[in-house]
C-alpha cells in the first residue's frame, strides 16, 4: 500500500543532509540514484496510520544537490522518523534492521524522540518493546 503522501524514508532519509544538524549517515552519494530511493509505502511500510506526518518535511532543495531532477515538493522523513520507519518495517517482517546499528548514528539522531514516537504510536506493547530493543547498545 502506497503512503497517502509519499515520502522518502529509511536509509535514504538518513543520508539527506538536514541544515543545522550532523549528518546521520555518510553515504549521500547514493542519493544521485533516484531509482534506489526508499519510499514509505513502497520500499518500507507506510507508518502514517501510526504517527501521521510527524517528522516529514520538504527535502527538495537538499535532494537537488544530488539529483537535480528532483520533483518540487519531494517529502522526506527527518532522521528520527526514518529510524522509526526502519524499526517498524523490520519488526513487522521479523528481521533485523540491515546495514545500520544504533551506535552508528547516536551522535545525529535524537533517540529519546524516536522512543517517544514508538511509545505514542498505536502499537502492541510487544511491538513497541521489540522496536526499542534496537537501542540496547547505546543506552
Secondary structure (DSSP) of 59-95: -HHHHHTT-TTPPTT-EEE-HHHHHHHHHHHHHHTT-
Runs of H (alpha helix) within the chain? 10-15, 48-51, 60-64, 79-92, 102-105, 111-120, 125-133
- The CA-atom distances, in angstroms, between 108 and each of 25, 30, 71 are 9, 19, 27
Q: Which three cell numbers stand for residue 35?
A: 531509482
- Going by pLDDT thresholds of 50, 70 and 90, the confidence category of residue 75 is very high
Look at residue 63 and tell me whether its pLDDT is greater than 70: yes
Q: pLDDT-based confidence at 13, cuts 50/70/90? A: very high
For the entire predicted model, the pTM comes to 0.93
Amino acid at each position: 500500500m502506497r503512503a497517502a503522501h509519499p515520502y522518502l524514508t529509511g536509509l535514504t532519509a538518513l543520508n539527506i543532509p538536514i541544515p543545522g544538524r550532523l549528518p546521520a549517515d555518510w553515504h549521500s552519494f547514493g542519493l544521485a540514484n533516484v531509482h534506489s530511493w526508499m519510499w514509505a509505502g513502497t520500499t518500507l511500510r507506510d507508518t502514517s496510520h501510526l504517527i501521521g506526518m510527524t517528522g516529514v518535511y520538504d527535502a527538495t532543495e537538499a535532494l537537488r544537490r544530488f539529483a537535480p531532477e528532483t520533483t518540487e515538493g519531494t517529502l522526506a522523513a527527518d532522521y528520527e522518523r526514518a529510524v522509526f520507519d526502519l524499526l517498524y518495517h523490520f519488526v513487522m517482517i521479523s528481521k533485523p534492521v540491515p546495514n545500520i546499528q544504533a551506535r552508528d548514528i547516536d551522535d545525529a539522531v535524537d533517540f529519546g524522540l524516536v522512543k517517544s514516537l514508538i511509545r505514542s504510536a498505536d502499537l502492541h506493547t510487544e511491538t513497541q518493546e521489540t522496536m526499542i530493543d534496537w537501542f540496547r547498545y547505546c543506552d
